[in-house]
Amino acid sequence: MTSQNPFADAAAGFELPEIALEVDRLALVKYAGAADDYVRQHWDHPFMIEQGYPDVIGHGWLSFAHMCRVVTDWAPPAQATIARYAVRYHRPFHPGVLTCGATVDSVGPGRIDLSLWARAADGTVLATGSVSLTPPA
């Protein structure tokens, strides 16, 4: 759901529409190819079981990309520019449903600050982040 004008419509506390998607091993392999990141933890299930993990681990940047997608679905690049971002990973994410969302923290002249999050299907918070938007140049 794209905002007509995020700088006119945004208010502190507004929750952007969430996205939920299935991140399977195929998605992780495709991301590995796109990112040129072939670390075994992202694709080699038997190796990860030997290491004591229940499954392969998704790429952190992939989860953050989906968190940012919540923002760009609401305020596309033609309407807003990501001026600053930060992310903190709390738990590894394994293949399964990844749900991402964002909340407007504050709105100021020419700036919108948002908090982002990603959760596993069981509700565990996997990552949190922040984004600051400015009008496009």
CATH of the domain at 69: 3.10.129.10
User: Is the CA virtual torsion 107, 3, 15, 88 positive or negative?
Assistant: negative
| Residue 40 falls inside a structural domain | no
Domain extent, residue 78, equals 6-24+59-134
| Residue 112 falls inside a structural domain | yes
Residue 26's φ and ψ, nearest 5 degrees, are -60, -45
| Residue 46 falls inside a structural domain | no
- Residue 25 structure tokens: 């091993």
* pLDDT score for 114: 98
| Residue 110 falls inside a structural domain | yes
* pLDDT score for 73: 95
pLDDT in tens, the chain (137 residues): 566 788 887 899 999 999 999 999 999 999 999 999 999 999 999 999 999 999 999 999 999 999 999 999 999 999 999 999 999 999 999 999 999 999 999 999 999 999 999 999 999 999 999 999 999 87
Structural domains of the chain, count: 1
| Residue 64 falls inside a structural domain | yes
| Residue 29 falls inside a structural domain | no
| Residue 32 falls inside a structural domain | no
| Residue 41 falls inside a structural domain | no
